[in-house]
A = this chain, B = another copy of it.
Amino acid sequence: MALIIQKFGGTSVGDVDRIKNVARRIKSYVDAGNQVVAVLSARAGVTNELIARAKQINPHPDEREMDMLMTVGEQETIALMAIALQSIGQPAVSRTGAQAGIVTDFEHTRARIVEISGGDIPLLLSQGKVVIVAGFQGINKHGQATTLGRGGSDLSAIALAAALKADICQIFTDVDGVYTADPRVVPAARKIHEISYDEMLELASSGSKVMQSRSVEFAQKYNVTFEVRSSMNDNPGTLVKAEVPSMEDVVVSGIAVDKNQVKVVVSNLPDSPGVAAAIFEEIGAAKVVVDMIIQNVGREGRANLTFTTSNEDAHRATVAVDQACKKIGGGNVQQSGGIAKLSIVGVGMRSHSGVAAKLFKTLADASINIDMISTSEIKISVVIDLDKADRAARLVHSVFGLDAK
């Protein structure tokens, strides 16, 4: 008998029929001899509706009250799911985040979990009940409801799996698992059978949107093995787990393309100590997330600085740099789009040499110019022209032996 934590997102519980479907799926796991704790999101769209209603009243609503408001969505789905399970003869009971003992810090709307007791869940499981837990929400030590921010329900599920020492945590989603590349771009992409936390994190930070990084980090910290799989079919998904030696046999596990990139070039900077610091302090204060950074010395002792950021942050970044340049007394800022970041990820890179050279040669042979390069222990990223990104991804996918047979 295994203890399984299952997480179902907002689309999976989007209406009464889908709730019934999920109930049948949960019951099939119980019938097979498992104990199940299911973590649910709000119905798709509900949280956004609530936010819209609040913003009609006040464009900048109080975050404590927003949490009081937003916890409503999951509370509805957990009660309906418990009722659906009972109606097919499966004893079930719902628990809010607070009742499940998910204790967070005091940061409303983006709280962090500080401890998790599980409440009476072990007792309920021992009574043969399925326990349905509200995802995305917790309670702080003042007894106030909090929410965990984007991707919060995944985090609830993984944290519960850690607290309850579950055998496995299944994240049911609208994709089949983690793929070697986006199948819409690379038709030969394959589902990955298993992948390490580090690889999953590098893929996420490189534009593969299966899960939020912090859920994966949490799983890694507490060594929770989880599976990303489809809520629409019974196919096995992708296991995300601690690295095992055999994983290094695969040089490249996956490829990610991030098209949501803008390049900011700051040229003609005085080449003196503290210039870069001054610029990135200003950028940090503007809450801009910077991705790749390259600095080199140009002609006549003037320095150039280039970095990439997301489309959303690009304008704020340019304004911040402009301000920094005025303080520094020099430098011109220029922003340009039309770029994409291609990344290859794999723990095998640690033990295999020549990976970077193979990547660069592949692109060069296809006349694809490399604009920027950045590397980590298990990832190599290059910035290239946006209109060549898809072709590059297909070529690289094939060269590194990822294509489906």
Contacts and interface: CB of A to CB of B under 8 A. Distances in A.
Contacts of A94: 65, 68
A80 B69 contact: yes
Interface string A16-55: 1001100000000000000000000000000000100110
B83 A72 contact: no
Nearest to A119: B143
B82 A62 contact: yes
A42 to B, nearest CB: 10
Contacts of A19: 57
A66 interface: yes
A335 to B, nearest CB: 36
Q: Most B CB atoms within 10 A — which of A20, A50, A80?
A: A80
A54 B84 CA distance: 8
Contacts of A338: none
Contacts of A84: 57-58
A93 interface: yes
A83 B57 contact: yes
Contacts of A69: 75-76, 79-80, 83
Contacts of A362: none
A68 B83 CA distance: 11
Nearest to A75: B72
A56 B99 contact: no
A61 interface: yes
A374 interface: no
A287 to B, nearest CB: 24
Interface in A63-79: 64-66, 68-69, 71-72, 75-76, 78-79
Contact of A16 (B57, B82, B93, B143): B57
A318 interface: no
A117 interface: no
A28 B71 CA distance: 30
A295 B53 CA distance: 59
B87 A57 contact: yes
B68 A79 contact: yes
A86 interface: yes
A57 B80 contact: yes
A75 B145 CA distance: 11
Given A16-B57, A65-B82, A99-B143, 17 more contacts: A16-B56, A54-B79, A54-B83, A57-B80, A58-B84, A61-B83, A61-B87, A65-B79, A65-B83, A65-B93, A65-B94, A68-B75, A68-B82, A69-B75, A69-B80, A69-B83, A72-B72
22 contacts: A16-B53, A19-B57, A50-B76, A53-B80, A54-B83, A57-B87, A58-B83, A61-B83, A61-B86, A61-B87, A62-B83, A62-B86, A64-B93, A65-B80, A65-B86, A65-B93, A66-B79, A66-B83, A69-B75, A72-B72, A72-B75, A72-B76
Shortest 6 CB-CB distances between A and B: which pairs? A69-B79, A58-B87, A68-B79, A61-B83, A65-B82, A65-B79
